[in-house]
């Protein structure tokens, strides 16, 4: 899958620009505040219907009432995608080939995308929610079934939370019966999510290992472990889930919070069977974060049959020359990618190809160049 063209109107600092891209590597070069990351953000909008780092209204150019993004994806056929956000309506419109798409879940996975940014440090160093977000995002792009279960599970969580709070205020038999019904629904979807995650981690570990090896060699052995019931059968998972629900029921009612389920799980990252979060160096964290995104790319490519677009925002600036060179070399196996850089002068390690394109941004002006 290739993003061939992009048009932006009133999108952050880009008032009105048209861009064309190479089907290999696209280096987006410019100083701070020139809108490099905004181009990646626009591409992400096209693929997912949303930004990766902001609310819709924050992407509207100052003093304007809307923004518009148009993009053209080429695979076996061409797809025209158009995203419009209206400030007065506080509403976003997403069109695929001029047809309005009412639910974002209909788009997830159609145009697979992988993004690596400095904020990825939260995946290996932050809270369990960051790791669940990663896992849910990857599986959802690969499996619409998982996405539907996840959305239903999250709705059930909200409904069950409402009932828990009602019980805290008014403990009656009818409300207890309602809670039991929502608990059954929570368990049904929860067990399905757990089983999907177990299967995913088992497969994904191989991709992480290969990606890590490409970057740093075979000196270290990376792995991911799912911290909840990973070695249990479906029946055992359901029984343990039920036991935990029963054990925490009184506390859940007292606090009005869902305390048991895959929404509280964690994924443990290890190097040579040692916790990365506890003992890993900054270099190991950065390598693991990068390997995760390359693993995501190749996993999605294999499972979906589509080649994702790869977005890399200000990645090389935080790496030593050896790792940066290895990643640049690895990108040659990807296909189309978009890489933001501040200045080429310090990036002599880049593995260049004559088909790669340089897109220079300077005070709203765009210039193209190719490697010679």
One domain for residues 147 and 86: no
Residues 6+ apart with CB under 8 A from 324: 316, 347, 349
Domain C-terminal end among 290, 305, 320? 305
User: Which pLDDT score, from 0 to 100, does residue 234 have?
Assistant: 78
Clarify whether residues 143 and 284 are in a common domain. Answer: yes
Range of the domain at 240: 124-305
Q: The tokens of 50 are what?
A: 């949303």
User: Distance between CA 196 and CA 203 in Å, rounded?
Assistant: 11
Question: Are residues 365 and 249 part of one domain?
Answer: no
Per the CB < 8 A criterion, the answer to whether 361 and 17 are in contact is no
Asked if residue 28 lies in contact with residue 16, where contact means CB atoms within 8 angstroms, the answer is no
Write the secondary structure of the chain as one string of H (helix), E (strand) and C (coil).
CEEEEEEEEEECCEEEEEEECCCCEEEEECCCCCCHHHHHHHHHHHHHCCCCCCCHHHHECCCCCEEEEEEEEECCCEEEEEEEEECCCCEEEEEECCEECCCHHHCCCCCCEEEECHHHHHHHHCCHHHHHHHHHHHHHHHCHHHHHHHHHHHHHHHHHHHHHHHHHHCCCHHHHHHHHHHHHHHHHHHHHHHHHHHHHHHHHHHHHHHHHHHHHCCCCCEEEEECCCCCCCHHHHHHHHHHHHHHHHHHHHHHCCCCCCHHHCCEEEEECCEEHHHHCCHHHHHHHHHHHHHHHHHHHHHHHCCCCEEEECCCHHHCCHHHHHHHHHHHHHCCCEEEEECCHHHCCCCCCCCCCEEEEEECCEEEEEECC
Domain boundary pick from 247, 271, 305: 305
Q: How far apart are the first and last CA of the chain?
A: 26
Q: Is residue 119 part of a domain?
A: no
Q: Which of 305, 324, 356 is the last residue of a domain?
A: 305
Residues 150 and 83 in one domain: no
pLDDT, one tens digit for every residue, the chain (372 residues): 999 999 999 999 999 999 999 999 999 998 888 899 999 999 999 999 999 989 999 999 999 999 999 999 998 889 999 999 999 999 999 999 999 999 999 999 999 999 999 999 999 999 999 999 999 999 999 999 999 999 999 999 999 999 999 988 888 888 999 999 999 999 999 999 999 999 999 999 999 999 999 998 888 999 999 987 666 777 888 899 899 999 999 999 999 999 999 999 999 999 999 999 999 998 899 999 999 999 999 999 999 999 999 999 988 877 778 888 889 899 999 989 999 988 655 667 777 788 889 999 987 788 887 765
Residues 328 and 270 reside in one and the same domain: no
- Domain for residue 275, yes or no? yes
> Is 117 among the domain residues?
no
Q: Do 224 and 334 fall into the same domain?
A: no
CA 340 to chain CA mean position, Å = 18
Same domain, 301 and 313: no
- For the stretch 184-228, pLDDT in tens is 999 999 999 999 999 999 999 999 999 999 998 888 999 999 987
Q: Do residue 298 and residue 354 come from a single domain?
A: no
From CA 253, how far away is CA 9, in angstroms rounded? 50
What's 74's domain CATH number?
3.40.50.300
Q: Does residue 185 share a domain with residue 78? A: no
Instruction: Verify that 11 and 139 share a domain, yes or no.
Output: no
Return the pLDDT at 121: 94
In a domain, residue 66? The reply is yes
| Alpha-carbon distances, residue 20 vs 73, 156, 359 (angstroms) | 11, 44, 9
Instruction: Examine the domain organization and report whether 80 and 172 are in the same domain.
Output: no
pLDDT (0 to 100) of residue 207: 97
Residue 118 forms part of a structural domain: no
pLDDT at residue 366 in the model: 87
pTM for the model stands at 0.92
CATH, residue 140:
1.20.1050.90
pLDDT of residue 360: 92
Q: What is the pLDDT of residue 347?
A: 65
Q: State how many domains the chain has.
A: 2
Rounded Cα distance between 238 and 37, Å, is 44
Q: How many other C-beta atoms can be found within 10 angstroms of the C-beta atom of residue 98?
A: 7
In our burial notation (b when 16+ CB lie closer than 10 A, e otherwise), range 84-94 reads bbbeeeeebbb
- Contact indicator for 237, 260 with CB cutoff of 8 Å: no
Q: Are residues 44 and 179 in the same domain?
A: no
């Amino acid at each position: 899958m290739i993003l061939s063209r992009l048009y932006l109107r009133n999108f952050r600092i880009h008032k009105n620009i048209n861009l064309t891209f190479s089907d290999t590597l696209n280096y987006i070069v410019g100083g701070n505040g020139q809108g490099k990351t905004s181009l990646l953000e626009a591409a992400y909008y096209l693929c997912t219907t949303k930004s990766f780092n902001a609310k819709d209204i924050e992407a509207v150019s100052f003093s304007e009432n809307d923004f518009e993004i148009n993009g053209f994806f080429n695979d076996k056929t061409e797809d025209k995608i158009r995203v419009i956000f209206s400030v007065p309506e506080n509403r976003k419109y997403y069109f695929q080939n001029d047809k309005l798409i009412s639910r974002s879940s209909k788009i997830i996975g159609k145009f697979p995308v992988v993004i690596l940014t400095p904020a990825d440090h939260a995946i290996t160093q932050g809270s369990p929610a960051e790791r669940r977000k990663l896992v849910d995002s990857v599986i959802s792009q690969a499996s619409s079934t998982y996405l539907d279960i996840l959305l239903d599970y999250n709705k059930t969580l909200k409904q069950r939370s409402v009932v828990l709070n009602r019980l805290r205020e008014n403990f009656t038999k009818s409300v207890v019966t309602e809670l039991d019904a929502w608990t059954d629904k929570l368990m049904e979807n929860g067990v399905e999510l757990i089983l999907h995650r177990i299967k995913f981690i088992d497969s994904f570990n191989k991709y992480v290992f290969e990606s890590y090896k490409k970057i740093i060699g075979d000196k270290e052995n990376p792995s991911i472990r799912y911290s909840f019931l990973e070695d249990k059968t479906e029946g055992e998972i359901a029984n343990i889930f039920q036991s935990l629900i029963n054990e925490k029921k009184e506390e859940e009612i007292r606090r009005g919070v869902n305390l048991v389920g895959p929404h509280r799980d964690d994924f443990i990252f290890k190097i040579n069977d040692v916790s990365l979060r506890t003992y890993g160096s900054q270099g190991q964290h950065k390598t693991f974060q990068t390997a995760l995104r390359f693993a995501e790319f190749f996993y999605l490519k294999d499972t979906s049959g589509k080649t994702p677009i790869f977005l890399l925002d200000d990645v090389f600036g935080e790496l030593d020359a050896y790792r940066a060179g290895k990643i640049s070399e690895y990108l040659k196996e990807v296909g189309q990618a978009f890489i933001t850089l501040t200045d080429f002068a310090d990036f002599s390690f880049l593995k260049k190809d004559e088909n790669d394109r340089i897109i220079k941004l300077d005070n709203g002006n765009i210039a193209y160049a190719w490697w010679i």
